[in-house]
Structure 1
Amino acid sequence: MDKKFIEQSRLALLDLKEALRLSWFWLALGWLDILQRYRGSMLGPFWLTLTTAAFIAGLGPLYAKLFNLDMAQYLPYLAIGFTAWGFINGTIADCGNAFIVAGDSLKQMKLPRLALLFQVIWRNIIVFAHSLPIFAVVLLFLGPSFSPVMLLAIPGFVLVVLNLVWIGLVVAILCTRFRDIGPIITSVMQIAFFLTPVMWDHRSQRVSEVYVAINPFASYIELIRTPLLEKAPDLIFVAAALGTLVVGSICAALMFIRSRRRIVYWV
């Protein structure tokens, strides 16, 4: 094996270890980003919650009527799916600027690159947490209930976050090296929104689960949404999410090993 590659692999692994050791650093920075972004605002990130709630309240009845669906079943389906998509889409979009925004810091001090990526993902997790009241309101409105199956949403969410780590790393590297990639990713995510069962249900529309599972975003959303609807996720979606995690992590690791030293020159 190439000695240069071995040395680069060792440095990349040290970068990961240092980023995990400095968890307090990027956790604090992610929280500080939220405070600075909404400084002077009375509702802060809850503006996003209100916007999402208005979207669901406005389009929920309309699409339930168009698809001839029961409102009591479709509204929570749409609410959870749209909120989960917002988290995934927002995280990927922010990861594209993870290294670019921190360019000055990278040039002035020694920072683990992955700590900057973790900061962005943690910040979006905080924003996603502000949307959780939407789930509570919808479920309470339609009749409060609890099933142990709903706890499966926790490992499902963890699996989604782990997938977003490798996706975010690939996006961050590509957007730093090629600045035209950012708008391309934005366009791709807009198309993916309509191809992903966010507002439409593949079961009621009689779409094959295999066809849906080909889209990794569909699997990620199902891992969060299905348990909260008191149903166990289909194994095909679990397998798809685990498969993309393994294959994607390997590809992202190889890309990071090759480009880690060059990131500071690209920003």
Structure 2
Amino acid sequence: MQPTSTVADPQAPLAPDSRTFARAFADVRDAWRNRALWGHLGWQDIKQRYRRSVIGPLWITISMGTTAVAMGLLYSQLFGQDISTFLPYMTAGFLIWNFMVGCITEGTDVFIANEGLIKHLPAPITVHVLRLVWRQMLFFVHNLVVYVIVAGIFFGTLSEPYHMQGDPNLHPGISWTILLAIPGFFLLAVNAVWVALLFGIISTRFRDIPPVIHSFINLVFFMTPIVWHTGILSKLGEGSGDWRVLIAELNPLYHFLEIVRAPLLGHAQDWHHWVVVGAFTVVGWALALVALRNYRARVSYWV
């Protein structure tokens, strides 16, 4: 009698019921139920990165603080901005940007980097995405210390109604509306999951995607209102229309940035940012679920 092989053929067609939305939803649901697993792995990632370091994860905060303060001081002088309002603006923006970019760039490699676990650990592939987002959230909490220090130093200015130079809008100042940053960040994390899931699946199949995104993201940084604010564009557009404002408005990352940054700084909340982010959340998760439905079983063969 000939022995029966149990090794799956990567070129063999998938079982008919393996490409269903029920399986895709089950993958996400089961990954969430395994939060003890990806939560532990996320902690271990940080501990491993700073193994044998004297101050450990505090290097995250020191690096973030040094960069934010240096860039804030530089660009405040270049743009003629008041340091008491611009430095908190720059710090908050840079903090949120690091979280978003970390999820995007590492998301492209999320399955490739976890090749060993994917092939030997029987777990939903979404586990690796949640591990990535959880790790970036821990980095964000570490870096949040820098914002608290900067905001504390300039709290007198930020707690009263104020203008940013070149910005016609009067901002009401920090108040109870700072709590809106919590649902804003939660929505940011929800979107980070589908971004890493979708880009991770595509990049696993097409290995040219990660370097393209890594290169493109540097350009997007300077086109996103982080080291400058939209009030400058409005001022430049006086007398010739406000078409320059579209530079920011057509950038999706600007809207994700604002739903967290505006409450943190006590800026006037513009609800159209929430509408845009909500639309991207629905469309993005729909695309991610389609990719998960069709290619979830192929990821282990592609890595």
Answer yes or no: same fold by TM over 0.5. yes
Alignment of 1:130-149 (within 5 A): 130-143=142-155, 145=159, 147-149=175-177
Alignment partner for residue 119 of structure 1, among 104, 112, 131? 131
Q: How far apart are the structure 1 equivalents of 2:148 and 2:266?
A: 14
Measured in 2, the distance between the counterparts of 1:62 and 1:22 equals 45
In structure 1, what is the Cα distance between the partners aligned to 2:283 and 2:152? Answer: 40
SS of 2:87's equivalent? helix
Counterpart in 1 of 2:280?
244
Distance 2:277 2:249 in 1: 9
Q: Tell whether 2:32 aligns with 1:20.
A: yes
- How far residue 264 of structure 1 moved from its aligned partner, in angstroms, is 0.5
The TM-score, its normalising length taken from structure 1, stands at 0.93
Find the aligned partners of 1:181 and 1:195 in 2 and give their Cα distance: 21
Residues 99 and 172 in structure 1, CA contact (< 8 A), matched pair in contact too: yes
Q: Which has the higher helix share?
A: 1
In structure 1, what is the equivalent of residue 170 of structure 2?
Answer: none
- Name which of structure 1's ranges 230-239 and 202-211 shifts more when overlaid on structure 2: 202-211
Q: What's the % identity of the aligned pairs?
A: 34
Deviation (angstroms), 1:211: 4.5
Letter aligned with residue 81 of structure 1: G
Q: CA deviation at 1:62?
A: 2.1
Q: Specify every segment of 5 or more residues in structure 1 that has no aligned partner in the other structure, as ranges.
A: none
Amino acid at match of 1:254: V
Determine which of 145, 150, 175 is the counterpart of 2:203: 175
Assess if the C-alpha contact under 8 Å between 1:156 and 1:224 holds in 2: yes
**Deviates further, 237-246 or 6-15:** 6-15
SS in structure 2 at match of 1:203: helix
Contact 1:95 1:171 in 2 (8 A): yes
The secondary structure found in structure 1 opposite 2:231 is coil
> How far apart, in 2, do the equivalents of 1:224 and 1:107 lie?
37
Distance between the aligned counterparts of 1:266 and 1:42, measured in 2?
39
1:72-120 deviation digits (Å, cap 9, x = unpaired): 1101000000111011111211112211122122222321000111001
CA contact (8 A) 1:46 1:130 kept: yes
The answer as to whether partners of 1:149 and 1:232 remain within 8 angstroms in 2 is no
Counterpart of 2:87, as a letter, is L
Does residue 214 of structure 2 align to residue 186 of structure 1? yes
Deviant stretches of 4+, over 3 Å:
3-7, 207-211
For residue 5 of structure 1, report the CA deviation from its aligned partner.
7.0
For 2:33 and 2:71, the matched residues in 1 are separated by 45
Q: The residue matched to 1:205 in structure 2 has which SS? A: helix
Query: Is the 2:90–2:227 Cα contact (8 Å) retained in structure 1?
Result: yes
Q: Kindly state the Cα deviation for residue 44 of structure 1 after the two structures are TM-superposed.
A: 2.1
Q: TM-score, normalised by structure 2?
A: 0.83
Aligned residue pairs, count: 265
